[in-house]
Chains A and B, each alone.
Chain A
Amino acid sequence: MTAMTPVPYRVTERREETRDTATLVLRPCGAPIPPVRPGQFTMMYAFGVGEAPISVSRTGTVMEQTVRDVGAVSRALAGSAPGRMIGLRGPYGAGWGVEDAVGRDLVFAGGGIGLAPLRPALLYALRRRASYGAITVLIGARTPADLVYRAELDEWRERGARVEVTVDHADDGWRGHVGLITSLVNLVCADPPNATAFVCGPEIMMRFTAEALEAKGLTDVRISLERNMRCGVGWCGHCQLGLRLVCRDGPVVPYRDVASELRVKER
């Protein structure tokens, strides 16, 4: 089988996260793709529509991917009813490396759908709660209605994470924080030199959050880059950011290594 051939998977369950976002539970129809590490992505194929890179939002025996409807392919994927067959290639890219951060304090900062690739890393750490120090989860959403995994937040808290949520625009029922995710950084409980932060969201959000975390003294801040991808395997050339092919050398990278490139407009 070539690297460009999708492996058939079946949607066994579909959970609507928000008005435009759904989480799909996926089971292989035959031989599965190789095991996925938190932070990796697949190329998801909707029959007759096309393919898009989508991060894996739950790893392990039950695999999940959370898709936001932003175009023809993601609309077809996000709208896939249980029973529908989709195709997967992958998994691709470097993961978060949460497996190697044992003994450290962890900070997860997710903006919007950016929480999706962070979720398997968080769940990995919560399953091994005693192996990690303090765990803080910072979440930013446009409105309360745009918040993904809302039903799980209390469970994360019960399992030993501090979870703080902020929205840009509150509604009448909202009792939480209002404002940018950077305003939550002072709520992080972590010993900065002994902490690892994982940040994912829109590029501008990642830059400001990473800068704020560094200003707090964190030195190990990792972000997950997003670039156009047509292959996932290093051939198509689309996902370059300077010296990196994001599919191969990312998507997770140390913020420090790309901070200057990200400051260059249209790099």
Chain B
Amino acid sequence: MAWILDGVAGLHAALVEAGYTVIGPTVRDRAIVLAELESADDLPYGWGVTLEPGGYRIRRRADSAAFAHSAGPQSWKPFLHRPRAKLWDARRTDDGFEVAETREEAPRYAFLGVRPCDLRAIGILDRVLTGDRYRDDAYAARRDGVFIIVVNCTEPGETCFCVSMGTGPGADSGYDLALTEFAGEGRFLVDVGTEAGADLLARIEHRPADPVTETRARAEVDAAAGRMGREMPAEGLRELMAGSLEAARWDDVAGRCLTCGNCTMVCPTCFCTTVEDVTDLTGEHAERWQRWDSCFDLDFSHLQGGSVRTSTKSRYRQWLTHKLGTWHDQFGSSGCVGCGRCIVWCPVGIDLTEEVAALRREGEKSDG
């Protein structure tokens, strides 16, 4: 059963009323970023984006659609897996030291406008950080109880390839509510995913969707699947990565890659961190901080005697073969959801779909 919602102002108000901090897209510094929305008016009505390898521009749309833009520079990752967080404090005592763990009151978030690709990315982070023997409690505390409102994608960007990765453009589970926007009409089709979603919907004005409207919404999402700006066939990707470790293409991409790590920062699933132990000037007080780290950093693989991966080639190879290949072995899925952020935010426009295609061609040539 689907419903119709006239605008999302009531939805936003109900979320705030229910005690949520609402995070969603808004225009800031000429980009569509994710930030706290004071009201539904903060949504980027009438803004779209133009994307290309190494390029991102917002542009005015002819209509007033709120969600007719694809991925911006952020994913939902920073809200769940903090870029920098204190793990504990320690102070010197007479017979040694004493450790006090950092206790954080986890915010109660509602995520408004999660793309299906990004929803899958959150699921991947869940598996990495909480799905194994050791659970990242800080992540879990932030993740538990996030109210998720998906907006199905009807406006894929030039660098999108969720269809190849099987993550979009529509979401079929993992959300509390899922919206499909009728661009420019101010109306949304609503699907309910959970009881919490149903409860929230019950608090705001909505009406049953007529079959014609529902069919039209589904057709819009289906049509979006045919308008992906990129493709990267998933079949055989894992084997391609495993079999390409000595490919010549790595030298080619290493000639362009700056090892800046932007791709890992914008990636919604890159989870790597490091810890930093710091002290104050007295030496009586120490802290441990965890912060995002990147496999492109030279120190990332440092061992006594030097780093394992010193060349650019080996670091790009580590990133790509992990993301598309060994991630399966480690965490049971691909690490890529096809959002295209790494293509857009690469300062030299390295496009992983192009790199994969080149590796495929090279593999076929050497097979033949």
Contacts and interface: CB of A to CB of B under 8 A. Distances in A.
Interface string B302-326: 1110001111011000100110011
B293 A266 contact: no
A248 B132 contact: yes
A243 B322 CA distance: 8
A267 B245 contact: yes
B253 interface: no
B226 interface: no
A235 B129 contact: yes
Interface in A214-267: 226-228, 230-231, 233-238, 240, 242-245, 248, 264-267
A62 interface: no
Contacts of B275: 4, 51, 230-231, 236
Contact of B87 (A2, A228, A238): A2
B314 A265 contact: yes
A85 B97 contact: yes
Contacts of A3: 134-137
B301 A227 contact: yes
B96 interface: yes
Contacts of A228: 300-303, 308
Contacts of B330: 240, 243-245
A143 B59 CA distance: 69
Interface stretch (A42-50, A129-137, A144-152): A42-50
Contacts of A4: 87-88, 275, 288, 290
B97 A8 contact: yes
A2 B92 contact: no
A256 B92 CA distance: 47
Nearest to B98: A8
Query: Most chain-B Cβ atoms within 10 A of its Cβ — which of A49, A70, A234, A248?
Result: A234
A51 B277 contact: yes
A267 B314 contact: yes
A267 B303 CA distance: 14
A29 interface: yes
A74 B308 CA distance: 19
A243 B272 contact: no
Nearest to A10: B96
B329 A243 contact: yes
Interface residues of A, number: 42
A136 B92 CA distance: 46
B318 A47 contact: no
A74 B303 CA distance: 12
B205 interface: no
Contact of A47 (B96, B128, B135): B96
A238 B294 CA distance: 9
B99 interface: yes
A48 to B, nearest CB: 4
A48 B301 contact: no
A78 B84 CA distance: 30
B273 interface: yes
Interface string A39-79: 00000010111110000000000000000001100100000
B351 to A, nearest CB: 23
A230 B90 contact: no
B277 A50 contact: yes
A74 B330 CA distance: 30
A237 B303 CA distance: 15
B136 to A, nearest CB: 6
Interface of B: 87-88, 90, 92, 95-97, 99, 101, 128-129, 132-138, 245-246, 271-275, 277, 279, 283, 286, 288, 290, 293, 295, 300-304, 308-311, 313-314, 318, 321-322, 325-326, 329-330
Given A47-B96, A243-B330, 17 more contacts: A2-B101, A3-B134, A4-B88, A8-B97, A50-B277, A51-B288, A74-B304, A226-B303, A230-B273, A234-B132, A235-B136, A235-B271, A236-B273, A236-B293, A237-B271, A237-B273, A238-B272
22 contacts: A2-B137, A2-B138, A3-B134, A5-B99, A8-B97, A29-B96, A47-B90, A47-B92, A47-B96, A48-B277, A51-B288, A87-B97, A226-B303, A235-B128, A237-B293, A238-B272, A238-B301, A240-B322, A243-B326, A245-B330, A248-B133, A264-B245
Q: Which 9 residue pairs spanning A and B have beta carbons closest together?
A: A85-B96, A237-B272, A266-B314, A243-B329, A233-B134, A70-B304, A50-B277, A243-B326, A48-B279
Interface of A: 1-6, 8, 10, 29, 45, 47-51, 70-71, 74, 84-85, 87, 226-228, 230-231, 233-238, 240, 242-245, 248, 264-267
